Structure 1
Amino acid sequence: MGFPGVWMTESESLIYRVVPKCACSTIGQIMFYSDHGRYFDGDIHDSTTGLHKWNQDGSQEPIRNAVLGHKTPAFTCVRNPYTRILSSFFDKIAGIQRNGKRYRGKLVPQLIQRYGIDVGSPENGFDFDQIASFRRFLLFARDTIRWRRPMEPDIHWSAMSGHISTFIGSGGRYDRIFFTEKFNDGMQEVLSDTKPAHKLDLKKVPRFNESEGHGPKRAHKVSAYFDDLSRHLIWEMYKDDFLLFRYDFDDPDNKMPIGEVDLDEVHAKLRY
């Protein structure tokens, strides 16, 4: 199967399994900086040099050898499922992308027609009922995950455990899985496992977020978006994410993890 979604520094000092909406842009830029002493000029997802990526032909052999050789520290980062799906909605559905267009072209018009979603527009200041539209989006997201209709689940709202499992299933092993909510502490532990060519102060690293300023801001606290039905759908989609990564399902407003990740448990349960 290979290692889709895996990035590695050119120096082979770090291996990272990308999980969308979990600080992946910032992590990629930190990895780039650790080798080159500068950040990539642009969205790190657009880079084709300076960082090994599985979808680049010349990178597959070095990544495969490093992963299976188990000599390079491998890590990933996770996020509270409630705030992750909200972020996906406000960025990919309600927001305007960097190219000035809607995400995936016809997706939003399709959601408006099929699910009755309203996301406003820049012209009206993104004035719409955020709670009602988000809950309808949640039905769509569940349909894509459960039945793969009307489309395959998008990487930005498919379960974190699904992304993370592909690395394990192909023979990889994580040395660390840390929390977006404790980013600096977790990333510092990752960097301490290696000797980067260029050291950096994590407190001074910009947060690289392409959606910032391109769409509506969340107007309510997290729990306001999740009624009983919404929480039922969330559990259906992300049960493994809550359990494996120790997030609080009972309190949507508690974004912090309630325990530490057990790496042995993750590898045992996600080794398909």
Structure 2
Amino acid sequence: MKVAKRREAMLRAVLSGMNDVSALCEHFGMSEATVRRDLRALADERRIVRTYGGAASVGMHEPEESLDMRRESFREQKEAIARAAASHVQDGDTIFLDGGTTTAALAHCLAGRQGIHVVTNNLLAVGLLAPSDVPVTLIGGDVRPSSMSTLGPLAQIALSRITVDKAFLSADGVVAGRGLCEASAEQAFLKECVIRQAASVFVLVTSNKLERANQQHWTPLERGWTLITDAARDAPALERFALLDEVAVVSAEAGK
């Protein structure tokens, strides 16, 4: 098979969900070196995204779900993730809560806690925490109605003036060895600003977002961080993160 046709076939396989190098080797009957070379070439052409041990499709700016839809989707899983994340918050912590419904679920778990200080750009979290007398610092900026969060230059400047013990981030997708993908450059860059100012970083995502590259703006994760998800401990996508030395994986299965 000619190289061009082989790579087109490999691209179709990746787009159909065949993401592992080993699976591609078996499917095409090729050596690992050849598969990796073809994947590298496709990535250089920006047709796929290279991941740890494989590849993922490049996002095509999928339309975002409405805020109401996101509030209702995966509700039990988000609550389980929030409970697992709350166990990492200690008395005396100053924490950052990112925009999103999963981080809002964490805010609900923290309402009424004593001895913590929350910094956030999440207006949903403010509504949950402020009435319970948890000290809250709201990062200013431009309001993004689809997520009820604040973004932009003012938010970035505010973040540069503070540090936090722990940052709890959301994402549209998280890819092993690549980072977090978001719908806008402002969202991606704000997360990068937060990561720089946090002693510890936690990423809270439901299992459907693992190895998902549905958007084209990225926040690299180039330091140690903790993934908290509802995926089962033996899920193939979760195993890829567990193989990365800098990632600690916490599996918070719904209902537990």
Same fold (TM over 0.5): no
Indicate the structure with greater strand content: 2
Q: TM-score w.r.t. structure 1 length?
A: 0.28
Indicate the structure with greater helix content: 1
**Which of structures 1 and 2 has the larger relative contact order (alpha carbons within 8 angstroms, sep 6+)?**
1
Q: TM-score w.r.t. structure 2 length?
A: 0.29
